Each structure stands twice: as structure tokens, then as C-alpha cells.
Amino acid sequence: MVNKEHTYLQLNIPTIDSIRMNHMCKTLLENSKHCLLVGPTGTGKSVTISQLLKSKFDNDNWAYYMLGFSAQTTASQTETIIDGKMEKKRKGVYGPQYGKEGVIFVDDLNMP
């Protein structure tokens, strides 16, 4: 069934590989393990992960944060962006909202 609220660019047709990748990433994140996806441009890595985070990790137990990098992004800017999205726990210690686990999604880690 077609959802008329979505545009053509928002369509995501699941394949066996995207389903497998989705399940692996979900399992890793739920078990507090890091996940790094690599592959050619245009294979749907960013779309798949952002949809997974919105559907499974945007709730009472989880908080997700998305960062987009560019060639001009510095380490200082990255720290400022992450700290700005977190709650200050005590001096120099930041984290997600109280009672939540946090997931940081870094899109396009292709930096010089």
C-alpha cells in the first residue's frame, strides 16, 4: 500500500542486505556496542540508520543525536556540538537525559 504522505525520495525499499544490516545495528546498539558502516556512496547507509534510530531509539529509554561532518569540521567543533546536545551532569561530565541511554550517529566520517 502506498503512503501518499511520502515523497519519492523518502521511499525505502527493504532488501535482504538492508534488513540484515538493520538487525545487526539494532542488536549492537541495544547491547552498548559500537557500530561502523562502510560502503560505496549511495547504498543507503545513512537512510537505513536514521530510520532505525527514529523508529527504535526515540523513546523513553533512548535518545539519539545526529552529527553531520564536513571537511571543515574540527575536533573542537565536534566537542561543542556533542556537549550542546547533552545534559551537564557535573563539571566536565555530560550525558543524555537522566534515565536514558544515548546513541550518537555520525554521518559521513570521511574527513581529512
Please state which CATH class domain 8-107 belongs to. Answer: alpha beta
Q: What is the pLDDT at residue 51?
A: 85
Helix (H, G, I), strand (E, B) or coil at 95: strand
- Which residues are bridge partners to 63 per DSSP? 102
Pair 96, 102: CB distance under 8 Å? yes
Whether pLDDT at 24 is above 90: yes
Q: What is the pLDDT at residue 7?
A: 78
Q: DSSP character for 10?
A: G
Q: What is the pLDDT at residue 28?
A: 93
Q: Give the start-to-end residue ranges of the domains of the chain.
A: 8-107
Tens of pLDDT, residue by residue over 78-109, are 888 888 888 888 888 888 888 888 888 888 77
Q: Which helix (H) or strand (E) holds 19?
A: helix 16-30
Tens of pLDDT, residue by residue over 33-78, are 998 888 888 888 888 888 888 888 888 888 888 888 877 888 888 8
Q: Which residue bears the cell 556496542?
A: 33
Which of the pair, 8 or 47, is modelled with greater confidence? 47
Q: What is the pLDDT at residue 23?
A: 93
